[in-house]
């Protein structure tokens, strides 16, 4: 455990630094709030409307489709690393897996899941 | 590594047909009316899966590093699930056309859900059972909200999803505690660990066991984890309600018995007390609340809770008669419950109008055949001989007496008597009241007639000649411990 002592000290120093700075600026700084200062900062541009708008459900659909095909790639990496030791068995397994995903892709495409309108 | 492709053949068949249905659906023209092909295709998938499940091996077969097992128990449940899904496809065919929800995904989701149930019944370790449960549940969450334009259906789906996710969390937490204390998720290794310690003494393991009871108790709709049942059953499309009330319940009981008899079988003293309380609460609340219902779907929802209570009685008994009785009862329940829902579907109109019990007044004179069938199912659920429900209850209560739970059996019989009131009320309304509404010319599709016929024959056959099926059930449970 003693080996982790530097990490603990760094942790305390980091937290202490942040807390001290915020506390000091709250105590010593001059507070003059105004309309401009309190408005949300949007890269210097004047804010237009509320930030709490509803997003189209299509964004979520795209996000979900992304996850499905992203997971495919996540499975492909370890498979590619272990490809030699898995031999033909691994190859056939992966062909089946990608085949199933291809059916998914075909289904989504035909159903119109990839179109925005 | 043991790898046996034959052991998961029924699952592969169902998965293949499910994907085929999806592809055929998007390939064909978007005409909502003409999708008979999809129903027949899914039925073909169910039949082929049943045929390949049949070539049973006398011995227990383990595969996938002993995480998956095919024994007679799993095969019995496979047939049970396929039967329920097949019957549900038969009754939904005309229903989803009428309600304008005739999408190919409906059949695909039914089949994917069945895959999950099969995984649950065949799981030889806790994680496989968990994955099966998720595959099953997620498909049903979607099916519950299948009437996308109806608010009540959406609400039911969201409620079921949120509460189901919560219950899944409990189950998973229980599994993690069991893993933490025993160091394994394999059911047989947990069993030898528990037997080596002379029963469950570790409080962490007890807590894990309790949390698993909570998670599975939610899925079988036992009190006090039943709050979702009435709303979800009422909001879901009626055919999906029929599916929900039999398939997942049977699958959850399959997992329940496999976990608690195989893994914790040697310490049944610890969990029996908890299940005793659950059983009494479930039976009593289900039956008493069912009396005051005016909507037939809600009444059947509470009746489904009550039936889960009877099945929990058999789990408390935990002897061979009780476990085989559970298998028998689940089979009988499939016939009588899907039969009752089929008649509810036939008698309702577009938009699920006509779900009040009073709407059945005078049915006995207008449509005598339907009324006779409904009476039969109600008698069977009430447990009146010579129907299947009576034999099932007889096995379960005598198993409880054999294990020394006389008090529990008496509570069960009293509950059974209470239930007679609301089941017979429907019969009384059908035959002894003047009709309050014109029965519209009923559109009865041939497929739903087949379903009702199978349900009637099954209910009567199991009631009059129970011994053959009971023998199969007794042989199926030998591998459990």
Distance of CA B113 to the CA centre of its chain: 12
Whole-complex ipTM: 0.81
Domain tally for chain B? 1
Residues 6+ apart with CB under 8 A from A1: none
Q: Which of B188, B211, B179 is nearest to B67 (CA)?
A: B188
Q: What is the pLDDT along chain B (481 residues), one digit of tens a residue?
A: 566 777 888 999 999 999 999 998 888 866 655 678 889 999 999 999 999 887 555 567 777 888 888 888 999 999 999 999 999 999 998 898 888 888 889 999 999 999 999 999 999 999 999 999 999 999 999 999 999 889 999 999 999 999 999 999 999 999 999 999 999 999 999 999 988 887 777 889 999 999 999 999 999 999 899 999 999 999 999 999 999 999 999 999 999 999 999 888 887 888 899 999 999 999 999 999 999 999 999 999 999 999 999 999 999 998 889 999 999 999 999 999 999 999 999 988 887 777 888 888 888 888 889 999 999 999 999 999 889 999 999 999 999 999 999 999 999 999 999 999 999 999 999 998 888 776 667 778 889 999 999 999 999 999 999 999 999 899 888 888 7
Q: What are the tokens at A110?
A: 């035909």
Residues in chain B whose beta carbon is closer than 8 A to a beta carbon of chain A? 19, 22-23, 26-27
Distance CA B51, CA B35 (A): 25
Token code pair at residue B314: 């058999």
* B55-61 contacts at long range (C-beta below 8 A, 24 or more positions apart): B60/B479, B61/B4, B61/B7
Radius of gyration (C-alpha) of chain B in whole angstroms:
21
Q: For residue A113, which residues of chain B lie inside 8 Å, CB to CB?
A: none
To test the contact with chain B by mutation, choose from A64, A88, A103, A107 the residue with the greatest count of B C-beta atoms within 10 A, namely A107
d(CA A30, CA A9): 33
8 A C-beta contact, residue B248 and residue B219: yes
Q: Output the CA–CA distances (angstroms, integers) from residue B48 to B30, B114, B192, in the order listed.
A: 28, 14, 38
| Residue entry with tokens 């938009």 | B351
pLDDT at B59 (0 to 100): 66
- Residues in contact with B285: Cβ distance below 8 Å, sequence separation at least 6, in sequence order: B223, B226, B305
Contact predicate B366/B449, CB 8 Å = no
- Inter-CA distances, B7 with B55, B68, B75, B135, B200, Å: 10, 8, 10, 19, 33
- Burial track A65-82 (b if 16+ CB lie within 10 A, e otherwise): eeeeeeebeeeeeeeeee
The DSSP annotation for B404-454 comes to T-HHHHHHHHHHHHHHHHHHHHHHHHHHHS--SS--------HHHHHHHHH
Q: Are B91 and B344 in contact (CB under 8 A)?
A: no
B69 torsion bin: left (phi>0), alpha (psi -120 to 50), beta (else): beta
Bridge partners of B68, per DSSP, are B63, B123
Count of CB atoms situated within 10 Å of the CB of B131:
15
A66 touches chain B (CB under 8 A): no
Structure tokens that stand for B247 in this block: 């398939």
Q: Which two tokens stand for residue A97?
A: 């897996």
Nearest Cα to B15, choosing from A112, A100, A47, A31? A100
* Domain region containing B98: 5-480
Query: How many CB atoms within 10 Å of residue B374?
Result: 25
Interface contact A107-B27, CB threshold 8 A: no
Peptide bond connecting B224 to the previous residue in cis, omega within 30 degrees of 0:
yes
Q: What integer pLDDT is reported at residue B34 of this predicted model? A: 60
DSSP 8-state class, residue B445: -
Is residue B302 a contact partner of residue B287, using CB atoms and an 8 Å limit? Answer: yes
Q: How far apart are CA B170 and CA B174, in angstroms?
A: 6
Q: Which chain B residue is nearest to residue A99, measuring alpha carbons? A: B19
Q: What is the mean pLDDT of chain A?
A: 87
CA-wise closest residue to B80 among B395, B320, B335: B335
Q: Mapping DSSP to helix (H, G, I), strand (E, B) and coil, where does residue B318 land?
A: coil
> Which of B8, B19, B109 is best to mutate for the A interface (most A CBs within 10 A)?
B19
**CA–CA distance, B351 with B43 (Å, rounded to integer):** 26
What region does B66 belong to: left with phi over 0, alpha with psi -120 to 50, or beta? left
What pLDDT, on the 0 to 100 scale, is given for residue B145? 93
Instruction: Inspect the interface and report whether the beta carbons of B23 and A100 lie closer than 8 Å.
Output: no
Locate tokens 């695909």: which residue? Answer: B108
Residue B69: in which H helix or E strand, if any? strand B68-70
A111 contacts chain B (CB < 8 A)? yes
pLDDT at residue B31, rounded to an integer: 60
A62 token code pair: 């795209």
Smallest CA–CA distance from B25 into chain A, residue: A107
Query: Counting one residue from A and one from B, how many pairs have CB atoms under 8 Å apart?
Result: 12
Chain-centroid distance of CA B166 in Å reads 20
Q: Do B22 and A100 touch (CB under 8 A)?
A: no
At a CB cut-off of 8 Å and minimum separation 6, what does B129 contact?
B119, B120, B123, B255, B258, B259
Residues A63-114 have pLDDT tens digits of 988 988 888 889 899 999 998 888 888 899 899 999 999 998 999 888 888 8
Taking the C-alpha atoms of residue B253 and residue B234, their distance in angstroms, rounded to an integer, is 23
Residue B397 confidence (pLDDT): 95
Find residue B70's DSSP bridge partners. Answer: B61
Q: Which residue of A has its CA nearest to B20?
A: A103
Question: What's the rounded Cα separation, in Å, for the pair B419 and B402?
Answer: 24
pTM of the model: 0.89
Could you tell me if B317 and B70 are in contact, meaning their C-beta atoms sit under 8 angstroms apart?
no
Question: What single string gives the DSSP state of each residue in B176-231?
Answer: HHHHHHHS--BHHHHHHHHHHTTS---HHHHHHHHHHHHHHHHHTT-TTS-TTHHH
Could you tell me which residues come within 8 angstroms of residue B440 by beta carbon, excluding any fewer than 6 positions away? B349
**Residue B10: partners with Cβ closer than 8 Å, 6 or more residues away:** B49, B50, B52, B53, B78, B82, B118
For residue A59, pLDDT beyond 80: yes
């Amino acid at each position: 455990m003693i080996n982790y002592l530097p990490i603990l000290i760094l942790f305390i120093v980091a937290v202490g630094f942040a807390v001290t700075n915020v506390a000091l600026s709250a105590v010593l700084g001059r507070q003059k709030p105004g309309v401009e200062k309190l408005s949300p900062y949007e890269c210097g541009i004047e804010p237009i409307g509320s930030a709490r708008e509803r997003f189209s459900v299509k964004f979520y659909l795209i996000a979900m489709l992304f996850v499905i095909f992203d997971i495919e790639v996540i499975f492909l990496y370890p498979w590619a690393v272990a490809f030699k030791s898995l031999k033909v068995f691994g190859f056939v397994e992966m062909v089946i897996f990608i085949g199933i995903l291809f059916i998914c892709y075909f289904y989504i495409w035909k159903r119109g899941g990839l179109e925005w309108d | 590594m043991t790898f046996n492709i034959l052991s998961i053949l029924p699952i592969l068949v169902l998965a293949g047909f499910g994907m085929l249905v999806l592809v055929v659906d998007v390939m064909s023209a978007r005409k909502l009316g003409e999708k008979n092909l999809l129903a027949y295709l899914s039925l073909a998938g169910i039949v082929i899966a049943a045929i390949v499940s049949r070539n049973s091996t006398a011995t227990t077969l383990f595969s996938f590093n002993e995480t998956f097992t095919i024994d007679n128990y799993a095969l019995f449940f496979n047939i049970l699930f396929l039967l329920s899904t097949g019957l549900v496809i038969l009754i939904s065919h005309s229903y989803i056309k009428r309600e304008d929800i005739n999408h190919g995904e409906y059949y695909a989701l039914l089949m994917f859900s069945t895959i999950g149930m099969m995984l649950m019944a065949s799981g030889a370790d806790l994680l496989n059972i968990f994955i099966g449960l998720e595959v099953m549940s997620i498909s049903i969450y979607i099916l519950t909200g299948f009437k996308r334009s109806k608010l009540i259906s959406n609400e039911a789906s969201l409620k079921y999803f949120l509460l189901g996710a919560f219950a899944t969390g409990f189950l998973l937490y229980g599994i993690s505690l069991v893993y933490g204390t025993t160091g394994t998720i394999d059911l047989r290794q947990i069993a030898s660990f528990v037997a080596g310690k002379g029963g469950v003494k570790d409080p962490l393991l007890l807590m894990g066991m309790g949390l698993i009871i909570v998670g599975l108790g939610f899925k079988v709709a036992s009190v006090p984890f039943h709050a979702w049942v009435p709303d979800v059953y009422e909001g879901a499309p009626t055919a999906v309600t029929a599916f929900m009330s039999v398939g997942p319940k049977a699958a959850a009981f399959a997992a329940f018995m496999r976990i608690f008899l195989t893994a914790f079988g040697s310490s049944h003293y610890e969990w029996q007390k908890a299940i005793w309380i659950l059983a009494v609460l479930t039976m009593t609340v289900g039956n008493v609340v069912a009396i005051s219902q005016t909507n037939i779907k809600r009444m059947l929802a509470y009746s489904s809770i009550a039936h889960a209570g009877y099945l929990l009685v058999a789990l408390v008994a935990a002897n061979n008669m009780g476990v085989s009785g559970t298998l028998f009862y689940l089979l009988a329940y499939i016939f009588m419950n899907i039969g009752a829902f089929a008649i509810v579907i036939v008698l309702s109109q577009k938009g699920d109008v006509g779900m009040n019990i009073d709407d059945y007044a005078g049915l006995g004179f207008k449509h005598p055949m339907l009324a006779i069938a409904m009476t039969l199912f109600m008698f069977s659920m009430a447990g009146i001989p010579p129907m299947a429900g009576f034999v099932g209850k007889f096995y379960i209560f005598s198993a409880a007496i054999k294990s020394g739970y006389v008090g529990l059996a008496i509570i069960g019989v009293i509950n059974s008597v209470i239930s007679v009131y609301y089941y017979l009320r429907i019969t009384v309304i059908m035959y002894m009241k003047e009709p309050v509404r014109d029965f519209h010319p009923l559109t009865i599709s041939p497929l739903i007639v087949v379903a009702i016929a199978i349900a009637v024959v099954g209910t009567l056959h199991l009631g009059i000649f129970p011994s053959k099926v009971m023998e199969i059930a007794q042989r199926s449970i030998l591998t459990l411990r």
